[in-house]
Structure 1
C-alpha cells in the first residue's frame, strides 16, 4: 500500500471545502502539488471569477493548506479574470486569462 501523493491529499482536502464553494456556484481544481518544494497551485473557477470575496476565499485556502499540511510551504490561488462560467469553458466553468487573486479582475 502506497501513501497518497501530496496532490491526492490536497485534492481530497479541497473536496471537503467544495460544499461551501459550490454553494456559491464556484469550482476548484488542484493544478500543481510539488512533493519536493511543497508548492501548491489551486485554481478557482465558476462564479469565483468576478466574485468580490474570492480574495477572502483564496486567503483562507492558502492559510488552511499551510496549517493543515506539514509538507506544504507555499500556496498560490488563481481565479479566471473573465468571469466566464458558461458551459463552453473547460473544467467546471473555468475560462479566461488566469490572474493571481491579488490582481484586479476589472469587474468593478
Structure 2
C-alpha cells in the first residue's frame, strides 16, 4: 500500500467522523500516514483547542484508527493550545493548514 493511499483512506475515515467534531466547531487534518511503520499523525484544530473533551476525542480517534485499519499501529493526535487554525478548510470540516503549538506528551 502506498503512503498516499493510506493517508487518503484515513482522510476519508476522518470525514466520516466530522459530524461529531464539526458539530463542536472542530477541524482535522491527517499530517502523516506511513504504511511501512504504521504511524499516523492527526491534528485537530478549531474549537478542539482548549475543549474539555478533546482528550476523549483524541483517545477515540486513536483507538478507532488502530481498530479499523490493519496497517495502523501507532496514532498521535495533536491539538493546538492557541486555537489558531489555517484559513482553508475542506469538505467535512477537515482543516487545511493547521499549525499545532503544543507537542508535549502531556497534552494527550
Q: Smaller-chain TM-score range?
A: 0.7 to 0.9
Unaligned 5+ segments in structure 1 are none
1:94 aligns with 2:98: yes
Does structure 2 conserve the Cα–Cα contact (< 8 Å) formed by 1:7 and 1:30?
Answer: yes
More helix by share: 2
Larger radius of gyration: 1
TM-score (norm 1): 0.80
Count of aligned residue pairs for this structure pair:
99
Runs of 4+ in 1 over 6 A off after TM superposition: none
Instruction: Report the CA distance between 1:103 and its aligned residue.
Output: 2.0
Residues 66 and 100 (structure 1 numbering): CA distance in 2 closer, same or farther, change over 3 Å? farther
SS in 2 for 1:31: strand
Which protein has greater RCO, CA pairs closer than 8 Å, 6+ apart?
2
SS in 1 for 2:63: helix
Q: Distance in 1 between the 2:102 and 2:42 partners?
A: 11
Alpha carbon RMSD of aligned pairs, Å?
2.3
Does structure 2 conserve the Cα–Cα contact (< 8 Å) formed by 1:25 and 1:48?
Answer: yes
Unaligned 5+ segments in structure 2 are 89-94
SS in 2 for 1:98: coil
Does structure 2 conserve the Cα–Cα contact (< 8 Å) formed by 1:82 and 1:95?
Answer: no
Instruction: Report the CA distance between 1:83 and its aligned residue.
Output: 2.3
Matches of residues 10-89 of structure 1 in structure 2 within 5 Å? 10-84=10-84, 89=86
TM-score (norm 2): 0.80
Q: Distance in 2 between the 1:96 and 1:64 partners?
A: 22
